[in-house]
Amino acid sequence: MRLMCVWLMAVMLMVLSAWSAHADSPVAVVAAEAVWGDIARQVGGPDVTVSSILTNPAADPHAFEASPMDGRRLGTARIVIANGGGYDGWLDRLMEGSGNADRPVVLNVAALVGWRDGENAHFWYDLTMVRAVATAFAADCGAILPDRRAALQDRLQQFLDALGPLEQRIDRLRARYHGVPVAASEPIFGLMTRQIGLTMHDGDFQRAVMNGTDPGPSEVAGFERDLTDRRVRMLILNEQTTGPATDRLEQLAQGAGIPVLHVGESLPPGMRYQDWIAGMLDRLDQALAHAPPGGPT
C-alpha cells in the first residue's frame, strides 16, 4: 500500500511538473496572415512563438492552397488568429484536420470588429480595427500566462503608441485630399481610402471583382472612361493580382498622366506592420501631390 501511495505521488508530481512547464512556456501562435502574425509578435514578444501561413507577398492569397505542414503548425497552436470574413475560409478546414486536442483560442478578426457579409474584409487597413485586434490578442495571451500580463500590457501599449503617428498622418492626408476622386481595380485599399476621405469611383467594377465575377462591359467602359477623361486623380491596383485587365487599366492611367498606387495584401518579410502602412501612405501622398488636374466628373 505504501509503495502504491509513493507511486501515485510520483505520477502526480510528473503531471503537475509537465503542466507547469506548459503554462510557463511561450504561447504557440499561428496566424493565417503575416500581418496578424507580425502584430502578435510585437505584442507577445518573448512570451509567444509566432508562425504565419500566408507569407508570400508575390502570391495571390485568394488562390492559396494549404499544405500538410500548415496543418501540423495548427496541431500545436494555443492561439490561432484568423482574418475571417471569407478571406481565409480554408483555415476552418485545416483546423478540423489538425489533430489539436487542446482546442486553441481562435481570435477571429471579422467577428471581433462586427463584420457583415459583403463588407470589406481587408481589416488591417483600418487602424481602429488593428487596435482592437492587438488589444484582444494581449488579453488572450494574458489569460494563458497570467504572470506575464503586465509585460504583455506594456508591449501592447508600445504597439498602440506606434500607431499614433500613422493616425496623425491619416488626419493630415484627410485635410489635404478629402473628396479627391480616385479609382481602384478592387476594394483591397478601401478601408484606408475611406479613412482619408477619398471619393471612390467605379464601385460596381470593384464589387464584381470582390465577388469573383467579371465586370460587365458597361462597368469596364465606365472605368476606362474615368481614366482617359481624367475623372479620377489616382488609380489603385493590387500588386498581388495582376493580369491583362489590370495591365490595360494601368496603361490607360499612365497614358493620361494619372499616377498608379500599387498596394498589397501580404506584409513583406522582415517588415513591421507600422512601417508597411507608413510606406503606403508616403506613396499615396506623393502620387496625389503630383496628380494632374482632374477633368469633368
CA angle 275, 251, 231 (to 5 degrees): 85
Query: Cell numbers at residue 280, please?
Result: 503606403
- Residue 196, pLDDT > 50, answer yes
What is residue 254's predicted lDDT score, i.e. its pLDDT? 96
More confident call, 118 vs 201: 201
Q: What CATH superfamily is the domain 24-163? A: Nitrogenase molybdenum iron protein domain (3.40.50.1980)
- 151-160 long-range contacts, Cβ below 8 Å, gap at least 24? 151/45, 151/47, 152/43, 152/44, 152/45, 152/47, 155/42, 155/43, 155/44, 155/45, 156/43, 158/42, 159/39, 159/42, 159/43, 159/134, 160/131, 160/134, 160/135
Q: How confident is the model at residue 166 (pLDDT cuts 50, 70, 90)?
A: very high
- Residue 176, pLDDT > 60, answer yes
**Residue range 197-205: average pLDDT?**
93
Query: Cell numbers at residue 173, please?
Result: 492626408
- Residue 209, pLDDT > 90, answer no
| Cα distance between residue 83 and residue 94, in whole Å | 14
Domain locations along the chain: 24-163, 167-289
Pick the range with the lowest mean pLDDT from 52-61, 134-143, 233-242.
Answer: 52-61
Q: How confident is the model at residue 210 (pLDDT cuts 50, 70, 90)?
A: confident
Q: Note whether 24-163 and 167-289 share their fold.
A: yes
Percent of the chain with pLDDT over 90: 70
**Residue range 166-179: average pLDDT?**
98
- Residue 285, pLDDT > 90, answer yes
What is residue 137's predicted lDDT score, i.e. its pLDDT? 99
How far is C-alpha 225 from the geometric centre of its chain's CA atoms? Answer: 32
At the topology level, CATH places domain 167-289 in Rossmann fold (3.40.50)
What is residue 7's predicted lDDT score, i.e. its pLDDT? 42
What is residue 93's predicted lDDT score, i.e. its pLDDT? 85
pTM given for the model: 0.89
Q: What pLDDT digit, counting tens, does each position of 185-194 carry?
A: 999 999 999 9
C-alpha count within 13 angstroms, C-beta hemisphere, residue 220: 11
Q: Are 37 and 50 in contact (CB under 8 A)?
A: yes
- Residue 264, pLDDT > 70, answer yes
What is residue 105's predicted lDDT score, i.e. its pLDDT? 96
